[in-house]
A and B are shown apart, each in its own frame.
Chain A
Amino acid sequence: MGLIFIRTTIIFIALLAIMRLMGKRQIGEMQPYELVITLIISELACIPMEDNSIPLLYGIIAILTVFLLHQIVCVIDLKVTAAKPIISGTPSIVLNKNGVDDSQLKKNNLNVSDLIESLRVEGYFALDAIEYALYEAEGAFSALPKKNFAQLQTSLPIILINEGKFDMKNVEKTGKNTAYYLDVLQRNGCKDEKKVLIMTVDGDGKVYLQKKGERYKVFRLDWQSTLW
Chain B
Amino acid sequence: MIRTIVSIFITLGLILGVSFYESKCVDRAFDELRATFETLQEKAELGTATYNDGVAARSFWDKKKETLHFWLPHSALQEIDFQLNEAIGFLSLDDNEGALPKIEVLIGLTDAIPHSYNFDVKNIF
Chain A bound to chain B: yes
In the complex where A3-B117, A74-B4 touch, is A68 in contact with B12 (Cβ < 8 A)? yes
> Can you identify 15 A-B contacts, CB atoms within 8 angstroms?
A1-B22, A1-B71, A2-B22, A2-B23, A2-B119, A3-B119, A3-B124, A5-B19, A10-B124, A53-B75, A57-B70, A57-B71, A68-B15, A75-B1, A75-B8
Secondary structure of the B contact surface, majority rule: helix
- A1-36 interface code vs B (CB 8 A; 1 in, 0 out): 111011100100000000000000000000000000
Q: Please, which residues of chain B bring their CB within 8 A of the CB of A105?
A: none
> How far is B11's CA from A61's CA once the two chains are assembled, in angstroms?
10
Size bracket of the A interface:
20 to 34
Q: Please, which residues of chain B bring their CB within 8 A of the CB of A68?
A: 8, 11-12, 15
* Residue on B nearest A9 in the bound complex, by CB: B124
* Residue on B nearest A55 in the bound complex, by CB: B70
Closest 10 CB pairs of A and B: A2-B19, A2-B119, A1-B19, A53-B74, A68-B11, A53-B75, A71-B8, A1-B22, A1-B18, A6-B124
Contact between B14 and A71, CB atoms less than 8 A apart: no
In the complex where A3-B119, A3-B124, A52-B74 touch, is A71 in contact with B11 (Cβ < 8 A)? yes
Write the nearest CB–CB distance from B75 to chain A, whole angstroms.
5
Secondary structure of the A contact surface, majority rule: helix
A-B contact count (CB 8 A): 61
> How far is B71's CA from A55's CA once the two chains are assembled, in angstroms?
6
In the complex where A2-B119, A53-B73 touch, is A65 in contact with B4 (Cβ < 8 A)? no
> How far is B121's CA from A145's CA once the two chains are assembled, in angstroms?
55
Count how many chain B residues have C-beta atoms less than 8 Å from C-beta atoms of the other chain.
25
Q: Is A121 close to B, CB under 8 A?
A: no
In the complex where A2-B23, A7-B124 touch, is A67 in contact with B11 (Cβ < 8 A)? yes
Q: Is B7 close to A, CB under 8 A?
A: yes
Q: Please, which residues of chain B bring their CB within 8 A of the CB of A58?
A: 73
> How far is B4's CA from A145's CA once the two chains are assembled, in angstroms?
39
Q: Is A54 close to B, CB under 8 A?
A: yes
Write the nearest CB–CB distance from A22 to chain B, whole angstroms.
24
Q: Please, which residues of chain B bring their CB within 8 A of the CB of A74?
A: 4
- A76-91 interface code vs B (CB 8 A; 1 in, 0 out): 0010000000000000
